[in-house]
Structure 1
Amino acid sequence: MAKHVVASAERTIDAPADDVYRYLADMHLHARFLPPPFYDFQIEKGGVGAGSVVSFKIKSAGGVRELRMEVTEPEPGRTLVQTDAGSSGLVRKYTVTPHGEQALVKITSRFDGETGIAGFVESIVAPRRLHRIYVKELSRLNAYAREQCDDLT
């Protein structure tokens, strides 16, 4: 039986929480925050918030995985979730919490891991690798948020 692999990262973003959530919920913008190994990001349906469907590819140690993610907003303005419609079991959750004039953003992902020795190795390597990727994603989000603030001044 496969076990869940979980990875996360969080960062304070230099913009109000409402703005940050809006950036994340807009799939046209969201694509620019994804660092390599994500690529070939496509919007298949919608484009903003719940009901959107996006697809992308991600390079991993095991090759390339194609994902088709359905977007939901369990708590609009606070929680955005992307769930793989395929067999990976991948769920990426973005939580935005007001933090004064800034926002605390946490990315958490969970997916069905491999079994056996491969699963053991994956349970050690994947969370660290994904954490580094999510740190880069949050850095890109912060850079975009700061650009938007600079454009207003």
Structure 2
Amino acid sequence: MAQISVEVERIVGGPPERVLALLADYAGTRAELWPEMITDYKVVEGGEGPGTRITYRLHATRKRVRDVDAVVTAPAAGSLLEADQRSSLRTRWQVRAAGAGGSTVTALTTWDGASGVGGFFEKTFAPIGIRKLSNAVLDGLETRLRPPA
């Protein structure tokens, strides 16, 4: 069983404090940023930043659905860690200054992959879905950060 890692990084237009606040708003902003591959999203505890607990269904493929029960912590300044309590799935959001009022946002998702033939297909195809999910969240975040026209 090998660990699978998927990293997506992007510079967005907004100061790190604002970007992190939007990412940490699980009851509001984040609920609206999830793409169609996330269903049944609920905030079970908290709703803002560390101490929040969220549940949702991650549709990796049409047939592969994972129930996620994640607890949010802040392991370091400028970061949020969403740790599934049922599996090894972890997503760490890191926000740091990028100059000119912007921020670099990194989403690193890791989990222990399956072994054998199933593991080969998981390692090959699951990262595509995870990148799609992370990029959709970042697309929505960028839209929220844009000044009104």
- Counterpart residue number, 2:48: 48
Question: What 5-or-longer segments of structure 2 have no aligned partner?
Answer: none
1:129 Cα deviation after fit: 2.5
Identity %: 25
Q: Give yes or no for contact 2:60–2:126 (8 Å, CA) kept in 1.
A: no
- Counterpart residue number, 1:135: 135
Question: What 5-or-longer segments of structure 1 have no aligned partner?
Answer: none
Pairwise mapping of residues 49-88 of structure 1 onto structure 2 (< 5 A)?
49-61=49-61, 62-76=63-77, 78-86=78-86, 88=87
- TM-score normalised according to structure 1 size: 0.90
Q: Give yes or no for contact 1:10–1:138 (8 Å, CA) kept in 2.
A: no
Number of aligned residues: 146
1:72 Cα deviation after fit: 0.1
Mapped to 2, the partners of 1:117 and 1:98 lie a distance apart of 42
Secondary structure of 1:66 counterpart: strand
1:128 Cα deviation after fit: 2.4
Mapped to 1, the partners of 2:74 and 2:102 lie a distance apart of 21
What's the CA shift string for 1:128-153, capped at 9, x where partnerless? Answer: 2211221122111111111xx32xx8
- Counterpart residue number, 2:3: 4
> Greater helix share, 1 or 2?
1
Mapped to 2, the partners of 1:120 and 1:57 lie a distance apart of 23
- Counterpart residue number, 1:124: 124
